[in-house]
Amino acid sequence: MFSNFVYHNPVRVLFGKGQIAQLNKQIPAQANIMLTYGGGSIMQNGVYDQVKAALADRTIIEFGGIEANPTYETLMRGVEIARTEKIDFLLSVGGGSVLDGTKFMAAAIPFEGGDPWEILASKARIKTAVPIGAVLTLPATGSEMNYFAVISRTSTQEKKGMGNPLVYPVFSILDPETTFSLPERQIANGIADAFTHTMEQYLTYPVDATLQDRMAESVLQTLIEVGPVTLKNPTNYEARASMMWAATVALNGWISVGVPQDWATHQIGHELTALHGIDHARTLAVVLPHLLRVKSTEKREKLIQVAKRVWNLQGTDDELVEGAIQAIAQFYETLGIPTHAKTYGIGPETVEEVRKRFVARNMNFGEHADITPDVVVQILNLSI
């Protein structure tokens, strides 16, 4: 059924060349700003200089070192500094990890319910959050226009998500030129992540949500079209701009309103990152094709639809189902991303550990909530 929905997205997006210059106008004049960043890419590609130039007259405290798959341990150091310095505005400059980490900090700084890890672990309610602005340098996660964050904890090898409208960025600046410096691996990861986000919200079962389906198919076709172009020619502005906007639209809620969603691939993928440190997008590629094979009956109609509408395949229904699964796997592979977990040395021990974790959490995944821990084992066994 096309379900009822409420949609509210307050993020002001400033898209395009030179938009970092608008920064000063976006942040309240009296704000006590903390600039958050990652491992230093912004120092090398000129983004830090642009940000500092735009905020020349402001006093800014900096907190760097937020890692890919941002950790609770690192972020809590930032939380302490922000509390001491009475920070009231967080400016995230970097990729999805820096922004996710900043969202967690925004919630954790004023949190009064004990250890902020509980915001992730037991979904402890937050009552307020420090406002966030973002300068995004890596198109992938959609974090720039959504209210989700995914945080890792090194000490326990866990990776957990949070979601709360209080951590929507107030604004996000998306200048495709800031992404020209991305290594090939990261841009491939970004394409694969956005592609998988779209699939998680589309490849379920039909509910006659014509527009959401067509929009999802457009995002997929855009990624298929511009992905290889932007990989080959990183400074082709138009291709990078289309890629960047597609990644935002893939997870800003437009394609998911009113429709069933899956997200099992992400849940399983997060465990593979937590246990093996594999890049987020790369974990998705070793799960989705195998999940589709295991769930091909339940997802049959949508597999046929995607085969026809996105890849223009022809044939019997059985051929179309098989064609869709193969086209999806092949898309990851053309980006240079493997589709088998064994590539990363993952074997039966990891499969068993993932099963145990899901049993302990007593959670089933997928649009029918029928991806039980045993089904996860079936999926991963096809991948190893």
Binding site for ligand NZQ (CB under 6 A): 38-42, 45, 68-69, 94-98, 100, 137-138, 140-143, 146, 148-150, 178-179, 181-182, 186, 189-190, 193, 251, 266, 280
Q: Which does 339 bind (CB under 5 to 8 A by kind): Zn ion, ligand NZQ, none?
A: none
Q: How far is CA 242 from CA 59, 179, 225, 227, 254, in A?
A: 35, 12, 10, 9, 17
Q: Which stretch binds Zn ion (CB under 5 A): 115-123, 191-199, 224-232, 306-314?
A: 191-199
User: Measured from the CB atom, is 198 or 305 closer to ligand NZQ?
Assistant: 198
Q: Does 193 bind Zn ion (CB under 5 A)?
A: yes
User: Measured from the CB atom, is 73 or 374 closer to ligand NZQ?
Assistant: 73
Provide, rounded to whole angstroms, the least separation between the CB of residue 328 and ligand NZQ.
17
Q: Which does 307 bind (CB under 5 to 8 A by kind): ligand NZQ, Zn ion, none?
A: none
Q: Which does 94 bind (CB under 5 to 8 A by kind): Zn ion, ligand NZQ, none?
A: ligand NZQ
Provide, rounded to whole angstroms, the least separation between the CB of residue 200 and Zn ion.
8
Provide, rounded to whole angstroms, the least separation between the CB of residue 266 and Zn ion.
6
User: Measured from the CB atom, is 96 or 133 closer to ligand NZQ?
Assistant: 96
- Which residues of the chain form contacts with Zn ion (CB under 5 A)? 193
